[in-house]
Amino acid sequence: MKKIYFTPGPSQLYFTAEEHIKNALKESVPSISHRSKAYESIHQAAVESIKQLLQLPEGYHVLFTGSATEIWERTIQNLVSYESFHFVNGSFSGRFHEIAENYQINAITKKVAEGQVVKPEEVLIPESTELISITQNETSTGAAQPLEDIKTIRSAFEKPIISLDVVSSAPYIPLDYSLVDTAYFSVQKCFGLPAGLGVWIVNEKCIAKSEEKMNKNKIIGSYHSLPSMIEKSVKNQTSETPNVLGIYLLGKVANDMLTKGIEQIRRETEYKAAVLYQAFEECGQLSPFIKEEKYRSKTTLVAETKCDSSEVINLLSQKGIVLGSGYGKFKKEHIRIANFPTHSKESVELIADELVRNFK
Amino acid sequence: MKKIYFTPGPSQLYFTAEEHIKNALKESVPSISHRSKAYESIHQAAVESIKQLLQLPEGYHVLFTGSATEIWERTIQNLVSYESFHFVNGSFSGRFHEIAENYQINAITKKVAEGQVVKPEEVLIPESTELISITQNETSTGAAQPLEDIKTIRSAFEKPIISLDVVSSAPYIPLDYSLVDTAYFSVQKCFGLPAGLGVWIVNEKCIAKSEEKMNKNKIIGSYHSLPSMIEKSVKNQTSETPNVLGIYLLGKVANDMLTKGIEQIRRETEYKAAVLYQAFEECGQLSPFIKEEKYRSKTTLVAETKCDSSEVINLLSQKGIVLGSGYGKFKKEHIRIANFPTHSKESVELIADELVRNFK
């Protein structure tokens, strides 16, 4: 039996991905030169599909890296000279803070317990802060920062760059990207693609900041400095030989999502999330880890388990369903279920049924 | 007609790659968690096959990055505090030097014209140099630094780290890796795999140097600092979600090469190189760009063309063969032909016949 992966990234491939991989092989996509017109078309198609799918405003650029982790590092190298401010409520938001510290930045945090989100009204951000980092969806806990909070922060802080982690929420989350200056995701989450590609969205303010840093003779990296990346990106190229196959697949899957319609994807995501949270509520053995409904992620659903979470995981595994365990210290106490565009309503209903039947 | 790619990277996929990709999809390799036992087995298999294929000495580690370009940057960040020395004889060796300058390192070069190699007896390397960079095979020109030169440099300079670019020569080149401290390649060259994965080989001296730099409170990067990479690598893991599919494929293809036998691969490479250089000599319109035979690459063969090189490229294209154009300023004056393990003797003989018939 071939299993269906509901792990929150890497996860189940998007249902068209396998066919696109086979077409890529037929078309010799992995063999073409990254300096050829053929590559430039692939690059441009991916960028344009992403821009359209996310409805990026004019002046926003789409860049490619090896991972979202790399984007954390490039963000610090290019956009911060002295001070950054991090909303921290779990392992991934915390990891970005650590990377800033690795670069000897004065990296300030407002930290709340796992399962919470930082409330904008409770943060004090110094005048000197150059970048504010927010995690829309903390994949380790399933806590989501509401979109109203992003608006609140933007209106309170016009000057600093706002960086938003949409790693496991794009393209589901109906974000107005003009509220942030930079955002990023990796393709193995909602896009259902093989890992090894990060997507970095930046606006002109980011480019100007990076150039300003460079002009002050500060180190901003090399082949993946923002000016180098932009210089190549306007020609639909990259500085290095990139993950050509990954970029090809991203363009194809983003285009499939456009054909399906983002509104349809959002409706389905919300329906499936409702089914699963309902099941968590009905099971005596389970309860949603995020107590307040408005902070619950619709794409990464986390339940506390009264039993060892491996009991739940093993039972579903027998039905051909792979769930995620809790992250880090919650390994045995949580299950995490990805609710990505590739996950069908039917398989989500199956999970809900099995949970209710067995863990009532 | 499906074309055969003789471009020097990306190039033709290794002849077993497509089958391995299909198996990977069957086995859900792109969906498994990078923190699972299943991933650790894939990682370990790739590392062990590379160690065996390249006959790495005890104490040498195999690490994964997004590209060989990234390895240039990580090398500078981790292994150099003040001064590096670069043998430069073309665009790629020159690019590493530029990256060192981007990091404000005193990056000294010994530069010779394209088509030449730097002669070890002609370099003066200061006592203060921390790292010597040599490019075994300068892919832009087809000039190869003889293995005796690596020996000469190692015996003359015990203290500095020696970094060897084997991007387009491994695993063909019968290098004794104990002569160098670090070496690197990307998988879209001789390994015939989709781009998006770099392989970084480091010994204990590199790790110690990086730790020394860190202990002096200098910045050595973050998730891809050498200590972070080693910490994960000993557990057969990576800091970030890596290109899992790429690592799986690398392990499979390296294993296929072991089964075929590296000696057989080397004999075939030498036979095919001889056939092509012979054709270059026989064609009045062509001549090997590298004049002295001992400096000619066996894996990236470059010919000067009396006509516009696009004439040669277009003619072969009609026969289903994709050759590379010259690199950079040599675009119209050179052809470049990859001679990688996947390229069959028959197709190389076909290229040689066509060249001799049409460009006599």
Last-in-domain residue among A259, A288, A317: A259
The predicted pLDDT at position B224 comes to 98
* φ/ψ of residue A108, rounded to 5: -90, 145
Q: Do A324 and B241 touch (CB under 8 A)?
A: no
CATH number at residue B193: 3.40.640.10
**B142 and B40 in a common domain:** yes
Per CB-CB distance under 8 Å, the chain A contacts of B229 are none
3-state secondary structure of A305: strand
Q: Which residues of A touch B222 (CB under 8 A)?
A: 72-73, 76, 98-99, 102-103
Q: Cα separation of B147 and A272, whole Å?
A: 61
Instruction: Kindly indicate the confidence band of residue A93, based on its pLDDT and cuts at 50, 70 and 90.
Output: very high
| Pairwise CB contact (< 8 Å): B193 & A67 | no
CB contact under 8 A, B196 and A2: no
Closest C-alpha to A107, from A136, A138, A128: A128
Q: Work out the angle between the directed axes of helices B345-359 and B262-282 (0-180°, nearest 10).
A: 10
Distance from CA of A25 to the nearest CA of B (A): 7
pLDDT digits 0-9 by tens, A42-52 = 999 999 999 99
Q: Identify the pLDDT of residue B9.
A: 87
Co-location of B169 and B216 in the same domain? yes
Residue from A20, A27, A67, A229 whose CB has the most chain B CBs within 10 Å, to mutate: A67
Q: Are residue B86 and residue B27 in the same domain, yes or no?
A: yes
Q: How much is the pLDDT for A1?
A: 75
**Total number of domains constituting chain A:** 2
Per the document, the length of chain A is: 360
Compute the nearest-CA separation of B175 from chain A (Å).
25
Residues B41 and B151 in one domain: yes
ipTM, 2 decimals?
A: 0.98
Are residues B199 and B342 located together in one domain of the fold?
no
Helix axis angle, B226-233 to B68-79, nearest 10°: 110
Does the annotation flag B336 for ligand binding?
yes
Asked if B291 and B169 sit in the same domain, the reply is no
**Of A221, A240, A259, which one is at a domain's C-terminal end?**
A259
pLDDT score recorded for residue B1: 75
Contact B241 A9 (CB under 8 A): yes
**A342 and A225: one domain?**
no
User: What would the pLDDT profile of B3-42 be if each residue is shown by its tens digit?
Assistant: 999 999 899 999 999 999 999 999 999 999 999 999 999 9
- Structure letter (DSSP) for residue A296: B
E strands present in chain B: 4-5, 61-65, 83-88, 106-111, 131-135, 137-138, 143-144, 161-165, 182-186, 198-202, 286-288, 300-305, 321-322, 324-325, 334-338
A10, HSE (Cβ side, Cα atoms, 13 Å): 25
Same domain, A70 and A112: yes
Q: For residue B324, give the 3-state DSSP assignment.
A: strand
Q: What pLDDT shows up at residue A90? A: 97
| Closest CB to B99 among A66, A222, A324 | A222
The Cα–Cα gap between A131 and A118 comes to 16
Do the Cβ atoms of B55 and B48 come closer than 8 Å? no
Same domain (yes/no): A291, A213: no
Q: Which residues of B294-322 are buried (b: 16+ CB within 10 A; e: fewer)?
A: ebbbbbbbbbbbeeebebbbebbeeeebb
Q: A246: which chain B residues are within 8 Å (Cβ-Cβ)?
A: 196, 243
Assess whether B180 and B307 both reside in one domain: no
Look at residue B257 in the predicted model and tell me its pLDDT.
Answer: 98
Min Cα distance A172 → chain B (Å) is: 20
Chain B residues touching residue A104 (CB < 8 angstroms): 217, 219
Residue B95's closest chain A neighbor by CA?
A223
- Cross-chain residue pair B225–A73, CB shorter than 8 Å: no
Q: What pLDDT, on a 0 to 100 scale, did the predictor assign at position A212?
A: 98
Domain coverage including residue A283? 4-11+262-359
CATH of residue A297: 3.90.1150.10
- Cis peptide upstream of residue B171 (ω within 30 degrees of 0): yes
Are B196 and A246 within 8 A, CB to CB?
yes
pLDDT at A10: 96
For A2-49, how does the pLDDT look when each residue is reduced to its tens digit (9 = 90+)?
A: 899 999 989 999 999 999 999 999 999 999 999 999 999 999 999 999
Considering only CB atoms, A240 lies closest to which of B12, B69, B244, namely B69
CA distance B163 to chain A (A): 19
Could you tell me which chain B residue has the CA closest to the CA of A33? B10
Q: What is the pLDDT of residues A256-292, one digit of tens each?
A: 999 999 999 999 999 999 999 999 999 999 999 999 9
- Sequence-distant (≥ 6) Cβ neighbours of residue B17 within 8 angstroms: A30, B192, B193, B194, B249, B253
Q: Looking at the structure, do residues B255 and B265 belong to the same domain, yes or no?
A: no
Give the separation between CA B64 and CA B201, rounded to whole angstroms. 9
**How far is the alpha carbon of A18 from chain B, nearest alpha carbon, in Å?**
7
Condensed to tens digits (0 to 9), the pLDDT of residues B131-147 reads 999 999 999 999 999 99
Q: Which residues of chain B have pLDDT under 70?
A: none
Q: Select from A191, A226, A259 the last residue of a domain.
A: A259
- The verdict on B239 and B296 lying in the same domain is no
In whole angstroms, give the CA distance from residue B281 to residue B285: 9
Residue from the list B12, B102, B222 with its beta carbon closest to the beta carbon of A99: B222
Residue A29 CB neighbours (<10 A): 21
| pLDDT tens for each residue of A187-246 | 999 999 999 999 999 999 999 999 999 999 999 999 999 999 999 999 999 999 999 999
Q: Mapping DSSP to helix (H, G, I), strand (E, B) and coil, where does residue A156 land? A: helix
